[in-house]
Amino acid sequence: MATAPSAFLLFLLAVGPWTPTGCLAGTFGFDFHHRFSDRVRQWAESGNWVEGHGSPLQWPKEGTVEYYAALVDHDRVHRGRSLAGADSPLTFLLGNETIRVRTLGFLHYAEVSVGTPSTSFFVALDTGSDLSGCPATARAVLRLPPRITDWYYPLPLRCGSNFSIYSPSSSSTSKTIPCSSVYCELRSQCPAGDSQCPYNVRYLSENTSTTGVLVQDVLHLRTDDSHNKTVEAQVVLGCGQTQTGHFLDSAAPNGLFGLGMTAISVPSILSKAGITSNSFSMCFGRDGIGRIRFGDLGSSDQAETHCTLMLDSDPTYIVTVNGIRIGSVMLTGVLRALVDSGTSFTYLTDPVYSLIARSFNSDVQDVRVSIPDLPFEYCYVLRPNESKVPSIGLIMEGGSEFLVHRPVILVSNGVNAYYCLAITKSNDYNIIGQNFMTGLRIVFNRDKLVLGWKEFNCYDQETSTLTVKPGSPGAPPTIAVAPSGLDQEATVNRDKTTGMGPSHSSTHSLNTHLFRWILPLLSLLCMAIL
Question: Would you name the residues annotated as active-site residues?
Answer: 126, 340
Closest CA to 240 of 329, 135, 149: 135
Contact 523, 250 (CB under 8 A): yes
* CA distances, 19 to each of 14, 22, 28, 149, 349 (Å): 16, 9, 8, 70, 71
CA triplet 299, 53, 181: central angle to 5 degrees?
95
Strand partners, 59: none
Which of 443, 129, 99 minimizes the C-alpha distance to 259?
Answer: 129
Whole-angstrom CA distances from 356 to 259, 491, 499 are 30, 19, 11
CA 110 vs CA 85, 91, 254, 267, 277: distances in Å: 24, 10, 11, 15, 21
Tabulate helix, strand, coil % of the chain (nearest 5): 15, 35, 50
**Separation CA 517–CA 510 (nearest Å):** 17
In three-state secondary structure terms, 301 is coil
Backbone angles phi, psi at 81, to 5 degrees: -70, -40
- On whether the CB atoms of residues 423 and 430 are closer than 8 A, the answer is no
User: Cα 8 vs. chain centroid, distance in angstroms?
Assistant: 29
Interatomic CA distance for residues 527 and 530, integer angstroms: 9
C-beta separation of 429 from 347 below 8 A: yes
CA distance 134 to 235: 13
- Sheet strands (E) in 1-57: 12-15, 30-33
Closest CA to 283 of 122, 91, 93: 91
Q: Check the CA dihedral 500-501-507-508 and report its sign.
A: negative
8-state DSSP, 165? -
